[in-house]
Amino acid sequence: MLQTISLRDFVIVDQLELDFSAGFTVLTGETGAGKSILLDALSLVLGERADSSQIREGSSRAEISALFQINPELIQSFGQWLDEQGFPLEDHGQSLLLQKNHRK
């Protein structure tokens, strides 16, 4: 489950941190409110390729991080594989922090 997402200098966002850890979250808003920007940021931190147009104008790099809470049953299945791939689990295997830094 996604707990938090943080953006810095991504598209039109200077700096933003959203906490999704409590309750049910729904993204709504008018056209241009930024819903797609959040989804694009999440896609990038999960491995999609970035391009320089996603770096905020006037900035040299964009930073995105996402913290996920990991189900204990899943840790046994793929926790070792994540560690071998360079994605160590935090908090004794309860959460996974993914970060993406993109430079022009």
pLDDT digits (tens, 9 = 90+) for 6-48: 999 999 999 999 999 888 888 898 998 889 999 999 999 988 9
pLDDT at 72 over 80: no
Q: Tell me what pLDDT residue 26 has.
A: 87
Number of structural domains (the chain) is: 1
Q: Please, which pLDDT band fits residue 91 given cuts at 50, 70 and 90? A: low
Q: Tell me what pLDDT residue 90 has.
A: 66
Question: 9 lies in which domain range?
Answer: 2-103
Q: The domain that contains 55 carries what CATH number?
A: 3.40.50.300
Supply the pTM of this predicted model: 0.80
79 against 91, higher pLDDT: 79
> How much of the chain, in percent, has pLDDT values that exceed 90?
45
* 3-class SS string, the chain: CEEEEEEEEECCEEEEEEECCCCCCCCCCCCCCCHHHHHHHHHHHCCCCCCHHHECCCCCEEEEEEEEECCHHHHHHHHHHHHHCCCCEECCCCEEEEEEEEEC
Q: Tell me what pLDDT residue 64 has.
A: 96
